[in-house]
Structure 1
């Protein structure tokens, strides 16, 4: 027999691991001897079970006496015929009361909601960190731990993500944030998600003390569709500045593309396209009526914005500006 373990009288959580929530004392912890001493450090708690029942909680740091029906030496000698096993089984589960900070998280599947501006479903991924603290060790012990020897915070990931994803989806569906507005409202989204899940986590035995979204990203399909829409919007704006409608711009571009694809044989077509576009840009194409002065003023402002955003060169800006001024 191991006399040292038979005489064991001091029990404590000697080496807590990072992000460890629960730890079962297993150094002959199921046959603790009468009047053993339990030591709790600050930020620790302990659940004591005896003969299969929860007999007590220790939530304040200090030294406690554990009283059982086992007595050193004599118990083991009496149980010699039972392979040194005692029926007076005990269990000690230490748990971390202190707050766990900056636990990483990220969505494993995209959050899907309808974009209020573009009117089609978009898929959003997010990542960040959260902090938590055990507030009801008994509920956690009974409903989640279920007798496991160790329990680390990463084992909560599935529980956490399954409960935080739905509130975020619901909030985004009602908040009407568009694709371009998500990053500007990350803090608000995080606060609402934490608020809507407070009661859920309390029922599980712990408190979500902080929840942060550090970044977001949309899936490639969503980015592609938004990009295509943006390109069309840019073309419409460009056509307006050029003084032609969008349909005419598309026709001229199609003619240009045909000319390029035909190589040398399309040289004359390219020249013709260039002439057509030149006429459109110079305003020599037939128009039902002369553009009013206020319309020219708007075009001048838009033309200046294009120049300031480096969408056109200074030469193009000056040339088109002079054309518009000539119409006054």
Structure 2
């Protein structure tokens, strides 16, 4: 080796993570020879840590901030490294990695595909998306290096977000399958869901070298098919409630609606092959059912008026029928 090359290799070098980008979790210090010069200084800034990977293994983790003189410092591994160097040059290769110690906050997440489960109250299939945010920090850099990063020269918060988001979605799917919340109560349960899912994920992330600081579920979204199912359930629920308030049975109300539609649909009667007499008979049946419903269970005048009001609101009786019947009922008070 020429005198010039020897001199060039032994120039003092500062090893540090300058201009730390906020999206970087892991950064390998660039070195063409993967060796550390004898007079080098290692600078670990606040919010940073340093990993020395020697011959493919994590040899030391420096988590305290400060300046380490690689010629005289007594840090355990640095001392070992100096002892094995020969003629200021080593045949053993060393990689220097920096990692982010500061918390990574408010990382947005969302389900890549809808989470599917069965509504426990109404028994309808639900397809639901969810979104929120999470925060974490590196708790065990050796585990993170072995389980996640490997020999990558850098690793970003975006890459970590993908890993965490996938696990959040899997946890939500398992959680909802066990709870089967109704679509009506799901939004009221978001805080409890987030807390339970975070506890469920804690152990898994500790195994990866991460500490999941918090998990929030901000909102949910239902796909079009689910929204359509929910709308139908809501309509029926509203009808059942209205019928109950009027002292009616929902089945009776639906039967009257069917008779009303059939009596008014001349095309439907013709398509069914019904003759004029059959149509008249249907109309008569419709009138009988209305009267039977009004008088069901010996209803008093006030109850009959409530029922009459609902039949009018549903279009089962006309305005003229409503006014005539109401006048008749009021006359009996």
Structure 1: gaps (5+ residues): 77-85, 263-267, 308-314
Do the aligned partners of 2:117 and 2:180 also contact (CA within 8 Å) in 1? no
Structure 1 CA distance for aligned equivalents of residues 296 and 222 of structure 2: 45
SS at match of 1:210: strand
Distance 1:225 1:31 in 2: 65
Match of 1:21 among 25, 28, 31: 25
Aligned-CA RMSD value:
4.3
- Which structure 2 residues correspond to residues 268-283 of structure 1 after superposition, within 5 A? none
Q: In 2, Cα distance between the equivalents of 1:224 and 1:125? A: 16
Question: Contact between 1:51 and 1:87, CA under 8 Å: does it hold in 2?
Answer: no
- Cα distance in structure 2, aligned partners of 1:5 and 1:44: 27
Match of 2:172 in 1: 168
Maintained 8 Å contact 2:262/2:269: no
Residues 115, 231 of structure 1: CA spacing in aligned structure 2 closer, same or farther, 3 A cutoff?
same
State the shift of 1:179 in Å: 0.7
Q: Where does residue 251 of structure 1 map in the other structure?
A: 259
- Rounded to whole Å, the distance in 1 between the matches of 2:83 and 2:213 is 42
Show the counterpart of 2:74.
Answer: none
Q: Give 2:217's aligned residue.
A: 213
Task: Kindly tell me the number of residue pairs found equivalent between the two proteins.
Answer: 304
CA distance in 1: counterparts of 2:188 and 2:266, whole angstroms: 43
**Does the aligned pair in 2 maintain the 1:282–1:323 contact within 8 Å?**
no
8 Å contact 1:114–1:121 — kept in the other structure? yes
Deviation at 1:35, TM superposition (A): 3.6
Q: Give TM-score scaled by structure 1 length.
A: 0.75
Distance 2:167 2:8 in 1: 47
Partner in structure 2 of residue 159 of structure 1: 163
Q: 1:54 to 1:288 in 2, by over 3 A?
A: closer
Q: Deviations over 1:46-98 (max 9, x none)?
A: 001233332211101111123546999x768xxxxxxxxx6232111100011
Normalized against structure 2, the TM-score is what? Answer: 0.74
Alpha-carbon offset, residue 99 of structure 1:
0.3
Q: Is 1:146 aligned to 2:140, yes or no?
A: no
SS in 2 for 1:181: coil
CA contact (8 A) 1:31 1:70 kept: no
Counterpart Cα distance in 2 of 1:321 and 1:175: 50
Distance 1:192 1:258, change over 3 A: farther
SS of the residue corresponding to residue 52 of structure 2 reads strand
* Contact residue 13 and residue 37 of structure 2 kept, 8 A: yes
